[in-house]
Structure 1
Amino acid sequence: MKTNQLNLFKSDFIESLPTKPYCTDELGVTFIRPKLTAINKKYIQVNRPSTDLYLVFDLDYEYSALAWSDLNLPAPAWAAKNPINGHSHLGYALSVGVCTSSMARLAPLKYLAAIQSAYTEKLKADRSYARLLTKNPLHEAWQTTWWTDEKYTLDYLADFVDLTGHPLRGKESHGLGRNCELFENVAHWAYKEVREYWSPNYKSKWQDAVVSHTEALNAQFIEPLPYSEVKSISKSIANFVIRHFSPEKFRESQSIKGRKGGLIGGKRGSIEDKAKAGRISKGGGRPSKSGFSREERESLVLKKKAQGLSNRAIADDLSISSSTVSLILRNSR
C-alpha cells in the first residue's frame, strides 16, 4: 500500500474505533479508555458495541501472517504478527457495518456469522477467540503489514469459501454464530412466553425473565458470550417483543380476526375454534361485542375457569370485562 493510501487508511481506522474502546497492555486486565488513549495500548477493541466493521481472526501458529495468501483468500486490511512466536491477528474491513444486536436485521448477522465461521475453519484460526480485543495494528509491539485499504462486501468474502454447514450450531457455536443462536432460540421462546407476563407494569419483570433465559442458554456453549453481549441481546429481544406483542396489539388483532366471520376452513367452527380465531358467530344467538353469542361466551368462560385460568386472564382471552366474567360465574352456581 502506498504511503498516502496507508495514512488515509490508518486515519479511517482510528475514526471507526469506538469512542471509548476496551484496551490493555496485558491480557487479563482490561480497561475502558478514550480513543486517543486506547490507540497507544497493545490490545484494543476495534468493533463498536453493536456494530461489526471488521472481521478479526486469531491464528495461533508460526508463519500465520501469510496464511491468507497460501489459501487463496482475499488480502486482509492488516496482519499484526507477534515477532516472538509468529502468531498473528488478521483483520478484514467490511464495506458496510453489520449490526450485532438488532432483532430486526438477523439475516445479515447470520450471513456474517457464516462467513466468519468458514474463514475460521479455512485459516485454522482459534474458534474460542472472544473477538473483544485484538492486537493493535498501530502498536510497535507487533510487526504489522497493511495489505490493502479495500473494504469488502459480504458477498465478495463469501465467494472464497464454502458456507455449507456454517455457522456451526449448538454447543460448538463460536463468534457471531453464538449471537445468532441466542437470538433465534430466545426470540422463539419469547414470542410464546410473553403472554404469561402480561399484567400492569409487567415490562421490568419481563425484561428480567428474558435476561435469565438468555444467560441459561449462553451457559451451554463451550465458550459462552461475555455478559455484556448477553445483556445486549436479551434487551433487544425483550423490547422488540414488548413493541410487537403487547396486550393492546393482541386485542386489536383478535378484533380484526373477529370481523372476518365465523367460518373456519369453509365449515362452521366449534366454540373453541372461534375462541382461538376470535371470529364472530353466525348463529346460535345474538353476537356480543366480543364476537360470541351469549351462550357461546358463557360456555367458554366456564370451560376456561375449569382449566384454572384467573378471571383477568379469561377476560383478556375473550376480550370481555372482568365484571362480565364474574357475573357469568356467579350465575352459574
Structure 2
Amino acid sequence: MRLSFSLALVASLCAAPVIADPLPSWNETDAKSRIINFVDDVTDPSLDTYVRPDDRIAVFDNDGTLWSEQPVYFQLIYAIDRVARMAADNPDILTSDVLKAAAAGDMDGIMAGGEKGLLEIIDASHSGMSVDDFQADVLAWLDTARHPTTGRPYDEMLYQPMLELLRYLRDEGFSTYIVSGGGVHFMRAFAEEAYNIPPSQVIGSALNSSYQVIDGVPTVVKTPGIAFIDDKEGKPVGIDAKIGKRPIFVGGNSDGDFAMLEWATSGEGPRFGLIVHHTDAEREVAYDRDSHIGKLVRGLDEGPDRGWLIVDMANDWARVWP
C-alpha cells in the first residue's frame, strides 16, 4: 500500500506542469520579486488589488530604459550621419558651424552649438521628406551602422531583461507603450520588430509636418520646427493626449522620466514605478548624477521614498544584451 502511494506521488509530481520563469535574465533579487508580486496582485481576480485588463497600461521610456543611450542618443548619431551623407551630395547645405561640425563628425563642435545647434542638426537631417521615406532611411541606417564601442548594430543594443519584462506584462494582459523624448517617427521605424510594440503605441517628440499631394500621391511630409517635445513634463501630457488613461506601470531611467513616474504612481489603486540605474561599467556604462546623457539625480534621491523600484543593473540583471 505504501509503495503504491509512493509511486502515485512520484507520478503526480512528474506530471505537474513546470512554470517557466517569466524573467530569466533577472537575478533572484528583490527587484524581480517585486515585479512578479505586483503583476500577481493586479491580475488575480480574487484580490482587492485586481485591475481590469483595459486598465493594465504600462509605459516605458526608450533611450536608456529599453536600449542603450551612450555615448550620445542613437537618434543624434543617425542625424549626424545623415548630414554627412547629404553634404557629400550637396556641400551647400552646410550653412552653419554646427552643420559643418556634424558633417565632419566633430562632437566637440556639435556640442558647442548647444540645444539650438542640436535642433538645427535634427531639422536639417529629418525634414524635407515624407514620413515613409524617412522611416525607410532609418531602417537602412540601422542595417549598416554600428555602435562605436561595442561594434553591435544599434538595434541589437536592446536590454534583454527589459524585453522579457515587456513580454511578461503583455502575457499578463497589459498593453505596453513607449513614451520617449526620441522622435516618434524614428522609433516607429523599428519599435515593432525590436519590442513587439506597434507604431500606434509609440509616443515621442515630433517635428512639424504637413499634408501634401506630391506627383498625385497624398503624402505626409516632415517639415522644419518642433511640434511637440515628449520629455519631462511633456510626457504626462503626451500620455493623456494619446492614451487617455493614467498608466499603472511606468519604467524610466533618468530625471527626464520623473514627471511621468510621479504622475502615474500618484493615481488610485496599485501602481508600479521602475527606474533603470546604470551601475554596470563592465557590461554597459555606469552613470547617473553627472552624466551629460540620462542624468539621474532626483529619481535616486526621491524614488525609494515614493516606493519606486531602483533597478541596479549590475546586481539585478544576469545579462544585459540579447
TM-score, reference length from structure 2: 0.22
Higher strand share: 2
Give the TM-score taking structure 1 as reference length. Answer: 0.22
